[in-house]
Amino acid sequence: MSPEEMPLLRDGPPPGDAEAGAAPAVGSQAGSGRPRLPQNIGHRGYKAAFPENSMAAFHGALAAGAHAVETDLHLSSDGVVVLSHDATLKRCFGLDAKIADCDWSYLSTLKTLREPRQGMPRLVDLLAWLAQPELESVWVLLDIKTDDDPELLFPAIARAIASVTPSSRPWKERIVVGGWNENYLNHARSHLPGHPLAYIGFSLLQARKFLSDAHADVHFNLLQVSLVGPLGARFRRAARRRGRVLLVWTVNEKGWMKWSVRKGVDGVITDEVGRLRDVLEEERVDGTGSSGVVVLGGEERGIGWPRTLRLYAIAILWQALALVVSLLLWRRLSTRGGPRKGRGKADGATKM
* Distance separating alpha carbons of residues 186 and 192, to the nearest angstrom: 10
Decide if 72 is inside a domain: yes
Find the helix packing angle between 55-63 and 123-130, rounded to 10°.
30
CB 244 within 8 A of CB 218: yes
* Distance separating alpha carbons of residues 20 and 171, to the nearest angstrom: 36
pLDDT of residue 87: 98
pLDDT of residue 329: 72
Decide if 5 is inside a domain: no
Helix (H) or strand (E) holding 30: none
The answer for residues whose C-beta is within 8 angstroms of residue 112's C-beta and 6 or more apart is: 51, 54, 92, 93, 118, 119, 120
* Distance separating alpha carbons of residues 15 and 5, to the nearest angstrom: 13
CB 328 within 8 A of CB 320: no
* Distance separating alpha carbons of residues 266 and 273, to the nearest angstrom: 16
pLDDT of residue 9: 55
Decide if 102 is inside a domain: yes
pLDDT of residue 179: 97
Q: C-alpha angle 23/25/30, rounded to 5°?
A: 150
pLDDT of residue 63: 98
Q: How many CB atoms lie within 10 A of CB 247?
A: 26
Decide if 144 is inside a domain: yes
pLDDT of residue 344: 44
pLDDT of residue 300: 34
Q: How many CB atoms lie within 10 A of CB 313?
A: 10
Tell how far CA 117 is from the center of its chain. Answer: 25
Decide if 302 is inside a domain: yes
Q: Which domain range does residue 179 map to?
A: 36-351
Question: How does strand 218-223 pair with strand 139-144?
Answer: unpaired
The answer for residues whose C-beta is within 8 angstroms of residue 329's C-beta and 6 or more apart is: none
The single-letter code of the amino acid at 74 is H
The single-letter code of the amino acid at 108 is S
Decide if 47 is inside a domain: yes
* Distance separating alpha carbons of residues 348 and 345, to the nearest angstrom: 5
The answer for residues whose C-beta is within 8 angstroms of residue 165's C-beta and 6 or more apart is: 131
Find the helix packing angle between 273-285 and 254-262, rounded to 10°.
50
Burial label for 155, CB within 10 Å (0-12, 13-18, 19+), is: middle
* Distance separating alpha carbons of residues 189 and 218, to the nearest angstrom: 10
Domains held by the chain: number = 1
Tell how far CA 235 is from the center of its chain. Answer: 18
CB 246 within 8 A of CB 226: no
* Distance separating alpha carbons of residues 275 and 347, to the nearest angstrom: 53
Decide if 229 is inside a domain: yes
pLDDT of residue 229: 87
The answer for residues whose C-beta is within 8 angstroms of residue 189's C-beta and 6 or more apart is: 197, 217
Task: For residue 327, give the CATH number of its domain.
Answer: 3.20.20.190
In terms of Cα–Cα distance, which of 143, 105, 318, 137 is closest to 227?
A: 318
pLDDT of residue 55: 98
In which residue ranges of the chain is pLDDT below 70?
1-35, 286-305, 307-308, 330, 340-352
* Distance separating alpha carbons of residues 56 and 119, to the nearest angstrom: 9
DSSP state of 23: P
